[in-house]
Structure 1
Amino acid sequence: MASIPFRQEAQAETAPQTPWVRSVASGAGVGLAAGMTMTATASAAAAYLARVVVTPVHEKRADVEILAVIQASRGQEVVLTSTPETIVSGTYGLHFDAGRGLAKIGEVTALEPKHGTVTRRVEEVVAGDLRAARRGWVSSGFHRDPGEAGYEFDEVTVGTPVGEAAAWYVPNGNPEGPLAERNIWAIMVHGRAGTRVEGIKALPAAQQLGLDSLLISYRNDGEAPAAPDGRYGLGMTEWEDVEAGIRYALDHGADEVLLFGWSMGGAICLQAADRSQLAPAVRGLVLTGPVIDWIDVLAHQARINRVPEPVGRMTRWLLSHPLGRRVTGLASPLDLKAMNWIDRADQLHTRTLILHSQDDETVPHGPSRDLAEKNGLVSFESFTQARHVKEWNHDPERWNGRVTSWVTDLFSEAEPGH
């Protein structure tokens, strides 16, 4: 997400983190903050915002200018326009040619604030002709499937309530892993406006642990079938597709599962662990930059995008009240209170690891920290300078190390009830 998670979440096939509300502001007019005096105008703006929040977006916006590709002493480098996304340290994907081209970019070798440019090392051109590219976008994913990342995988389908959904099954390739004999599967759940590509980032940790992995798609993400109303449920409906993934894993040999979720995918995993009949098989949650409280996220996005508070309140009302369905297009209103895990902290009974950057501009890290303080089953790992769901990209060694140690400790404990 990137401003209401409002950004389109980062992954290999994700747009350049375009803020949901910022795009709204350009459509409805930033002047809302200064000149809104009529109730009708406020209502129209709230209606527009409410629709944006739940309307799937699959188009990628090429908002980064590719200025030059140069040959340096240590290899190829690319010069890009400087944006908050292009200057974050770490390794990322640079997508171009309408998504047909992809390059893996790494170290920042030069930053020229005066000229508004940043130069980064090109670690690999995965596809396309980077020298011919003029515009593109940066995401946290730089592989298009697990095979490009060096893993054997199978294309499979998971039967969900809305139809057959595409998934990747990645078998455990590490018989020496500490959990290799335990029949444990990791189920990867991507974020808003993303795809299953996002879960590739967790495969190194899963393989080190000795886990099989299932990277799923879910309703309205552009790969799985659409829901009847064609709207995001922000976790209130998508959890059923995660439940279908759990059932697939159990039917194919898993004894227990771990759910990995990014951003809105974290909210989906929390709902699955809370609502699914298969929840007893969910041993733990590993959540990166998760939405812990949608009310907090919506309010945060309204503030940073200068949306007047009355409009923000009305937006939340439209999403959660039956009368708002004619505006939002939702089949059912969203229970935002049921997705507030700060107020429901004592109702979370699944061991959870949260990894979240303090400078997350899309989903504030405060609720993640607060949930860990309120519930002893929740562990919190704070990152800095990673922005939204880029914790792995910014410091993969730390992310992998924390996840593998936490999961190993989780399964070394006595079984629940023993």
Structure 2
Amino acid sequence: MSRSARPAEDVLQETARSAGLVALGAGVAAAAVTTAVVGGFVAAVARAVVTPDRKRTERVPIHAVDPIRMTVTLERTADTELQGRYSLWFGGGTGHMRVGEVLGTTDTSVTRRIIAIDAGDPTAARRGRWGGWFYLTPGELDVPVEDVDVPTPNGPAPAWIIRADDPDAPWAVLVHGRGVTRAETIRAVPVFRAAGYSVVLASWRNDGVAPRSADGRYGLGSTEWEDIDAVLRWLAGRGATSVVLMGWSMGGAVVLQTLVRSRFADLVDGIVLESPVVDWHAVLKSQSQLLRLPRPVRKVAQRLLRTPVLHRLTGLRQPLDLRELDMVARADELHVPILLMHSDDDGFVPSSASHALAEARPDLVRLEIQTTARHTKLWNHDADWFDARIIAWLTEVVQTSKATRAQ
């Protein structure tokens, strides 16, 4: 959820405005009319949950850019004030810069070093989009990259392939989150290459790169897993025998569904999850509370998603039951080691479900917690911490698990 993904709270806030939430109770006299308005709002909320957002709104005010000193001054937020390396898009998405350490702050602003201006003239920019992407293409890592198309149920899905020197190396499949593309996952390529893995950077339906599904809606993991299953099938056809899946945010939900549904799950020796959606109920509850939506709105919207016929109000082709995506409740179905990394100040996907999954399966889950890294930005905030946790887990856990399974 980071080309900087447009936060779901923004989507729901606009949905609330467009659906007339503010107007409710402001003079609607007839009960029938009130019911229709409320019903329409509930349907709009449910539809927002599963509709890919194609708008890339630039919401962070840019106060000043100094191209000589290579500094940018932004509005101070929980994200922009954090140390680390991040991306800033501007000019309607045509401009892009990478920013580094915080050089100074005031109560309302933060000044950061500009590492590089990749496109556009930032001196004219007044607003931008903050995001966790840092690399735009894997070629920036100076590694050999192959472009391939993986056959999926909706058609060929583009993927980047980065092979290890060893033709028999294990594979890592990197799965991006909601509202972004495979470029989000480039950050993890160096650590997996250092560990001796070949890497697939996958795309999946409705992400703007892979083919669109028939309904053009998110399945929140319940349908997207089929595209990662297709990647496993593609790898199996090329002799792969060991795969680690890694998913960010909603990509974590996709990876978990792949593990419990795929015919090729036996290839998977481990899973890495970064800021993952383990239970959608927790996400929607958190966002609803943040937006002060009445609890019945959230509950009815969830019921709408899973009710046959009524689900069509959201544009979904098939009903979507969020209870089936609750991997804390389904924890006993997990069967491979899991490295779960989350920040307790995530701001979008609460870490509570990650803690609950670790408590439910302490035999499989290694939980690594940050406190000030925000959502899907653990690498950005502290790349050394991020890489060290993955390397240690691959060495200590996955290799041991593979050896045990081979006996």
Distance 2:335 2:300 in 1: 33
Distance 2:98 2:238 in 1: 34
2:16/2:41 contact within 8 Å kept: no
1:305 maps to 2:266: no
Per-residue displacement from partner, 1:306-350 (whole Å, max 9, x unpaired)? Answer: 110111110100111113222111111112111111111111112
1:387 maps to 2:381: no
Where 2:216 maps in the other structure, the secondary structure is coil
Provide the residue aligned with 2:328 in structure 1. Answer: 342
Where 2:201 maps in the other structure, the secondary structure is strand
Where 1:231 maps in the other structure, the secondary structure is coil
Shift of 1:357: 0.4
Shift of 1:181: 7.0
1:69 maps to 2:65: yes
Provide the residue aligned with 1:111 in structure 2. Answer: 105
Provide the residue aligned with 2:41 in structure 1. Answer: 45
Q: State the Cα RMSD in Å.
A: 2.0
Shift of 1:16: 4.8
Provide the residue aligned with 1:255 in structure 2. Answer: 241
Provide the residue aligned with 2:82 in structure 1. Answer: 88
1:43/1:311 contact within 8 Å kept: no
Distance 1:215 1:401 in 2: 21
Matched AA of 1:206: F
Provide the residue aligned with 1:186 in structure 2. Answer: 172
1:102/1:142 contact within 8 Å kept: no
Q: Tell me the TM-score normalised to structure 2 length.
A: 0.93
Shift of 1:379: 1.2
Tell me which of 7, 27, 31 is aligned to 1:17: 7
Distance 1:311 1:411 in 2: 47
Matched AA of 1:22: Q
Per-residue displacement from partner, 1:199-238 (whole Å, max 9, x unpaired)? Answer: 1011111111011111111100011111001110000100
Distance 2:97 2:335 in 1: 42
1:192/1:263 contact within 8 Å kept: yes
Provide the residue aligned with 1:125 in structure 2. Answer: 117
1:16/1:138 contact within 8 Å kept: no
Shift of 1:29: 5.0
Provide the residue aligned with 1:212 in structure 2. Answer: 198
Provide the residue aligned with 2:157 in structure 1. Answer: 165
1:141/1:197 contact within 8 Å kept: yes
1:286/1:354 contact within 8 Å kept: yes
Q: Tell me the TM-score normalised to structure 1 length.
A: 0.90
1:407 maps to 2:397: no
Shift of 1:415: 3.2
2:206/2:217 contact within 8 Å kept: yes
Distance 1:350 1:23 in 2: 40
Tell me which of 129, 135, 144 is aligned to 1:137: 129
Per-residue displacement from partner, 1:39-74 (whole Å, max 9, x unpaired)? Answer: 4333221100000010111221111222222267xx
Matched AA of 1:416: R
Moved more, 224-233 or 332-341: 332-341
Provide the residue aligned with 2:54 in structure 1. Answer: 58
Give the count of matched residue pairs: 398
Distance 2:95 2:278 in 1: 35
1:100 maps to 2:94: yes
Distance 1:152 1:93 in 2: 24
1:195/1:217 contact within 8 Å kept: yes
Distance 1:241 1:201 in 2: 21
Shift of 1:194: 0.9
1:199/1:215 contact within 8 Å kept: yes
Distance 2:49 2:275 in 1: 18
Provide the residue aligned with 2:365 in structure 1. Answer: 378
Per-residue displacement from partner, 1:7-62 (whole Å, max 9, x unpaired)? Answer: xx11xx23353523233234335637987994433322110000001011122111
Where 1:392 maps in the other structure, the secondary structure is helix
1:43/1:314 contact within 8 Å kept: no
Matched AA of 1:390: K
1:301/1:362 contact within 8 Å kept: yes
Distance 2:157 2:172 in 1: 17
Q: 1:123 and 1:327, CA in 2 relative to 1: closer, same or farther beyond 3 A?
A: same
Shift of 1:80: 1.4
Distance 1:25 1:148 in 2: 41
2:21/2:41 contact within 8 Å kept: no
Tell me which of 124, 136, 153 is aligned to 2:145: 153
Greater RCO between the two (CA within 8 Å, min separation 6)? 1
Distance 2:21 2:163 in 1: 49
Q: 1:359 and 1:33, CA in 2 relative to 1: closer, same or farther beyond 3 A?
A: farther
1:100/1:127 contact within 8 Å kept: yes
Matched AA of 2:5: A
Distance 2:324 2:225 in 1: 13
Per-residue displacement from partner, 1:165-220 (whole Å, max 9, x unpaired)? Answer: 11111122xx5xxxx57521111110011100111011111111011111111100
Matched AA of 1:145: T
Shift of 1:143: 1.7
Per-residue displacement from partner, 1:338-382 (whole Å, max 9, x unpaired)? Answer: 111111111111211110000111111011011111112111111
1:219/1:225 contact within 8 Å kept: yes
Give the share of equivalent positions with the same residue, in percent.
41
